[in-house]
Amino acid sequence: MKVNFKELEDYLHQYGYAYNDLMKHDSFEIPDKTTYEYLMDNSKSIGSVNAITFYGNKIKYEQLGEEIERTADAMKGLGLSDGDRVAVLVPNIPEVAYLQYGTSKIGAVPSNIDPRTTGKMLLNYIKNENIKSIVVVDVMYETAIRPIEHELKEQFGIDRVVVVPATNSVPGLLKGVVSLKNKIDGKKPITSDVLDVVYWDDLLRNTRYEHATNIGFRKDKEASVQHSSGTTKGLPKSIPLTNENLNAFVEKMKPAFEGQYPPGTTMLGILPYFAAYGAVNVSHQALNLGFTLQMIPEFKFEDFGKIIAKQKTELVMGTPTWYALAAKDKTLKKDALKNLKMAMSGGDSVDAKTMKEINDFLKAHGAKCFMTNGHGMSELGGSGSFQFEGHENGTGVGVPTPYDKYIVLDKDGNIVPMTPEGVKGCVWIYSPSATNGIFEGRRFAETKDINGFRFLNSKDTMHIDPNNEISFVEREDRTFTRFDGHKIVPFDVENKFTSNELVKQCMVVPYMDETIQGKMPIAYVVPVRELTDEEKSEVVSSVVDTMVESIDTNNRDIPRKVCFLEEMPTNAMSKNDYIGLMKRELDGSEYTIDISETNLVSGEVKIIPPEKGKAKVLKR
């Protein structure tokens, strides 16, 4: 499909918006190919290059193609057919890539879901997305599947679940060590009296005589369902991305990468597949540009720098806080990051002091780059803007990626003309990789047609300079991002507190957690009357308990601090002073909720009162 981008540029130029100087040609082509066909074509000439590395296992592009074909046969043998959706609760292991392209061949659609999802929430996904089958990583079966086995079979007709061991693709020797350790620890294979549990390798072996036919390209056909980090209406939004969306993301980024990074350039696959940034911005892009994807399924956030050093990574995308934590790692050697050529950052804003600390750290450890900020959305498949040499606009988010366009519309939907000082307001984005905003006949994202091009409402307030450089201001709905990239929707958390009969008001804002050097949520609570210390503890305990068991929040949404106030502060407009609460300093009167976690697993939950006392421990 041909997109005449200059047509849009010319139209917006009359309102003063600058041309995107990254645009190499007046128009560009979005290939009429499925993601399966697109990858197979792009990897034809580089079969001997490593496509994926995983704990020492090197999977070349030639082998990747073979594994995708085997997976397509297995998905057909599983009973999936054109248009069927399969829930994929799998972290960054090679099998999740095989599933993306194997399902594409037969026309089925992977719905990439956070493996930490509770069983109750998973049932909602299955219902809302008409899921036909489930593939789950073994370590999450007990929390995600076991509690809902009967509902899966009796309500939705799902009687078989495919289990993928997290260590399935590690090298043989390491796999033997893991197997021996499991025997010593008494771990047994997963079985069920309700469902047919089939392990990944057994599925491949049992379906080896199946032959999956390539369904081929159809316009606007779903290729993947991703999910937002949160929503003001309960469950995270289901975001359908078509073959055109996923492949256009790679095509629009080619001018930015062209000639700089040859096949085999290493890219860290640390952003999860169940986030659009991981599935599209990193994995799909890396594999179709011939890079070597270094898959990391689980890590501790403070080990981010060590991982880059150990993997000898050249390209990495993370969050500002991950880099900030790495900058405080005193164990890294002086030349630890000498291979690093690109360090992109997204998911949150960063202050000038932290930016300087991170860039000083990168320079001191041999990196050949500075940290570049960007802006993006799940609805775009990832990045929509980024910084690069010549466009290092401080703590801004760079300029639009090639063939993307950012503009400001007023409340009536009219284009706000550019001025010598720039424009500021709610930003709408055109991108060839953007979803159409409709899922199962329901609109979940606001779009507007401008001169024949579909623009998406970002719900972000930004400032755009006359030279296209963009600065982030704030979210329209007070959404903010935790240190690890997870979005917190205050409305959802506040509702959990105000549902308690002893709570009158609640406001959730970010605070800087000094331990992890990043943002975490704190809840400011106004009770209906003066409460005793025991009653306050019960309120906190009750709400946290509810959130642990809730279907529309997860452990990462739980505030790490809770502070009781006599009344909510207000601003000059007599509205709750959100900004004032963000600036309020912690004074030791807060309850602390301590949760042990990695990027994949949330563990024990402890509630620690302001004064020394026995913490109540909640199990997930």
- Label residue 468 by pLDDT band (50, 70, 90): very high
Phi, psi of 197 (to 5 degrees): -95, 120
The pLDDT value given to residue 28: 86
The pLDDT value given to residue 231: 39
Q: What is the mean pLDDT of the chain?
A: 89
Kindly report which listed range (117-131, 238-252, 471-485) carries the lowest average pLDDT score: 471-485
pLDDT of residue 390 exceeding 90, the answer is no
Q: Which amino acid is at 445?
A: A
Take residue 437 and report the two structure tokens written for it: 């905003």
Q: Indicate the SS3 state at residue 99.
A: helix
Please state, for a pLDDT cut of 70, what percent of the chain lies above it.
91
Q: What is the separation of C-alpha 247 from the centre of its chain, rounded to a whole number of angstroms?
A: 18
CA pair distance 587, 451, nearest whole angstrom:
54
Take residue 174 and report the two structure tokens written for it: 């390491």
The pLDDT value given to residue 178: 55
Please state, for a pLDDT cut of 90, what percent of the chain lies above it.
66
The pLDDT value given to residue 217: 98
Domains and CATH numbers, the chain: 31-281 (3.40.50.980), 480-618 (3.30.300.30)
- Label residue 235 by pLDDT band (50, 70, 90): low
Taking only the tens place, the pLDDT of each residue in 334-388 is 999 999 999 998 866 677 778 889 999 999 999 999 998 899 999 999 999 988 7
Most confident of 141-155, 463-477, 534-548: 141-155
- Mean pLDDT on 224-252: 83
3-state helix, strand, coil in the chain (%, to 5): 30, 25, 40
CA pair distance 387, 343, nearest whole angstrom:
10
Taking only the tens place, the pLDDT of each residue in 81-118 is 999 999 999 999 999 999 999 999 999 999 999 988 88
| Among the listed residues 11, 554, 465, the one whose alpha carbon sits nearest the alpha carbon of residue 235 | 554
Q: Please say whether the beta carbons of 28 and 251 come within 8 A.
A: yes
- Mean pLDDT on 227-250: 81
pLDDT of residue 486 exceeding 90, the answer is no
Kindly report which listed range (64-68, 152-156, 337-341, 545-549) carries the lowest average pLDDT score: 545-549
Q: Indicate the SS3 state at residue 222.
A: strand
- Label residue 186 by pLDDT band (50, 70, 90): low
Residue 359: which residues within 8 A CB-CB, separation 6 or more? 370, 371
The pLDDT value given to residue 494: 86
- Label residue 495 by pLDDT band (50, 70, 90): confident
Better-predicted residue by pLDDT, 50 or 176: 50
